[in-house]
A and B are shown apart, each in its own frame.
Chain A
Amino acid sequence: MSAVKTKREPLLRMVKRDDLAPRRAWAFRGIAFVAALITGGLLIAVLGHNPLLVYKDMIVGSWGSPTVIKETVKLAIPLLICALGLALAFKMKFWNIGGEGQVIVGAIAAGYFGFFMADFLTRPMLIAVMFIAGVLAGGIYGLIPAFFKARWNTNETLFTLMLNYVALAVIKYLMNGPWKAPGSSFPKMPMLVPGGRLTTILGVHWGWILALILIVVAWFYFNRTKQGYELAVVGESENTARYVGINVRRVIMRTMFLSGALCGLVGFLQFAGADYTITEGIAGGVGFTAITVAWLAKMNPFGMLVVSVFIAMLERGSNTIQTIYKIPASASSLLIGIILFFMLGCEFFITYRLVWRGKGVADAEDTNPSVGASVEATGDPPVEKGDSAVRDSAARGGVAS
């Protein structure tokens, strides 16, 4: 030992992966998913039930019969459309957690025409007007925080969040006063006239077809249009965007209008297709759950289809196991939370690789040895700043400042 104290190499250190083959990345996510199910299963076992049976009954309870399949699909529609809307904002690093409020104002705007104009309009006219009203209201509600963000860089996370509660208070006000159902002894709104309700196709209102179309449209918008490209650039770096001549303010406001509009559309669909009335629970946490849908799918519209159907299945299945096993239905949010925690954690292992003390980097198969060596020697970031760096910064996110 020399007199100069050298710092010992840490037991574990991390090295940024060059790039992981997509198939292996998905394998990692698969492992994380299974690990989450095992964790949830342990919890079920502690409660004294057989996890495998409980999981089986959750699946049967959400896919076992045409009736429950319809219920599951009905749960997935709002999640999916809302997630598509939120993904627009998230790609821009605009943290729109006001989906809940945008859904509510969409429902209220549609409700205005549904409740008060039903007698003056023909059926297609009524539905068209409700549709437009919902979309516009949601869009405008999304535009408010976007305006302040674009103008003064006001924190949008908390702004959009507060607007949720403002919208909720509006519903409570309308329910207790101006829009209270005639003759009702407790506060509730009337039912939408049958003429204003959406027709069902294969047993579920046509929102599901619209949702499928929107997936393709969203994919096209993100990947093949100038606007989609602009919002991605703004998300990566506002300075770059400004440098190349993108009008950042306009992009922020335009994107948030679209984001809110899609959430407003959900409000209309829930009102005219599922609930036929408006209650405090019209959004029912969709705006929050959709955030995790968009995130888990890594902003990929097709991925959001898979994730939203899966979460709808969990929610539906939890009702079943409550009946059978007396496991409270809140188990679904507990389980969703566990799964999301694991999925979030596994992204780290997709981006980084752990190296034990004393082990060289050369024996790893998917890292460029020279890059790894430079990390080892200096602690500096890998020199490569290509695709992986962009992806990494996208995965990291954070409040756009």
Chain B
Amino acid sequence: MIDTATALLMAAVLAGTPLLLGALGEILTEKSGNLNLGVEGMMFMGAIAGLIGSYSYEQALTAAGFEPSGAISALVALIVSFLAGAFGALIYAFLTITLRANQNVTGLILTIFGTGFGNFFGEYFGLKAGGYVTVSSVTKAAFSPIHFPLLSDIPVLGKLLFQYNWMVYFAVAVALVMFWFFRKSRFGLNLRAVGEDPAAADAAGISVARYRYLATVIGGGICGIGGMYMSMVTTSGVWVHGCVTGYGWLAVALVIFATWSPLRGVLVAVIFGGLMIMRMYITIPGLPAQIYDMVPYLATILVLIITSVRQSKEHAMPAGCGLNYFREDR
């Protein structure tokens, strides 16, 4: 019983991490007042870029006669996937902030573009590599569970807390930093003001455009890293066609479920991850497995309805979210 529970929890954490990263990126974006529905697109871009980054690094070093290093390979994947996600977000930011395009439509187009981007280059490099792209065992090892001396050997707790790959800890760290950033830092408070009431922030001398650009681009980069998790950890460094499909939208749902709080995001990500893999661990007689798949979405709808009925200001989407800011309209 305890074994099943531990296994379920561990699997939930692993399944929830890409969702958490995607959601954290989107929380940062939405806090600035940009509702970027292109999370899935940016995750796709990050997924393929990270994989190709690691792959190219290995190929280049091997060709030069050196032994590739797993840590550097992972770092390359991290940076390149961040840049790819940030690039997608930059297109979005340019269109919505500078060119004043509709946020919903731009985000959806970013999803179409990013999905095409990921699958296109995934197949393209696959064809070039003669079948499919895959990274070497060195990189795979860098993305496998870490064994901490002593800590990992604690019974149950060691397994639950100190048995994951580095990206899980990275995601939690990002959540903690974001929590501090929104609550305590001057920039974070300014950013929240921009998202809640851009006109007031503007009047107070905060550059709305600059904050929105930065938050959106960095948020997109974090989403890209979440996508990289899919291609490097979930599929173990092999490009699988459409590997991110659905995850990006779940990440958007997670933002609502977490009510725009990074720390609650961690908790909710584990719950979502658990719901996604639960059917492999627990079977309730008479309940078909596919019905489990609905639960995360139904839960999100429920949260949406409850928050709107209660009209809770604290747990709602930033008031300026989804609307572009025009100084002339003030």
Contact = CB atoms under 8 A, between A and B. Distances in A.
A202 B322 CA distance: 45
B104 A345 contact: no
Contacts of B119: 328, 330, 333
A365 B286 CA distance: 72
Nearest to A47: B124
A398 B116 CA distance: 25
Interface of B: 35, 37, 91, 94-95, 98-106, 108-117, 119-120, 122-124, 127, 246, 249, 252-253, 256, 288-291, 293-294, 297-298, 300-301, 304-305, 308-309, 311, 317, 321-324, 326-329
Contacts of B294: 165-166, 169-170
A344 B116 contact: no
B102 A397 contact: yes
A150 B277 CA distance: 35
Nearest to B316: A155
A161 interface: yes
A337 interface: yes
A163 B253 CA distance: 12
Contacts, number: 174
B291 A159 contact: no
Chain B interface mostly helix, strand, loop or mixed? helix
Contacts of B112: 288-289, 292, 333, 336-337, 340
Interface class of chain A by DSSP: helix
Contacts of B321: 399
B236 to A, nearest CB: 22
Interface of A: 16, 47, 95, 97, 148, 152-155, 157-159, 161-163, 165-166, 169-170, 172-173, 176-177, 288-289, 291-292, 295, 326-328, 330-338, 340-341, 344-345, 347-348, 351-352, 379-381, 395-399, 401
Contacts of B123: 328, 330
Contacts of B98: 348
A158 B308 contact: no
A335 B115 CA distance: 11
A153 B301 contact: no
A166 B256 CA distance: 17
11 contacts: A157-B35, A162-B298, A170-B290, A289-B112, A295-B105, A330-B115, A330-B116, A330-B120, A334-B120, A340-B109, A395-B102
A381 B328 contact: yes
Contacts of B246: 165
B109 A341 contact: yes
Given A155-B256, A328-B120, 6 more contacts: A289-B112, A292-B112, A334-B116, A344-B105, A397-B104, A399-B35
Given A159-B301, A337-B112, A173 B101 contact: no
A97 B109 contact: no
Contacts of A381: 328-329
Nearest to B256: A158
A347 B96 CA distance: 11
A315 to B, nearest CB: 11
Contacts of A328: 119-120, 122-124, 127
A158 B290 contact: no
Nearest to A375: B328
A348 B328 contact: no
A331 B117 CA distance: 8
Contact of A158 (B253, B309, B326): B253
Contacts of A165: 246, 249, 293-294, 297
A158 B293 contact: no
B128 to A, nearest CB: 10
A162 B253 contact: yes
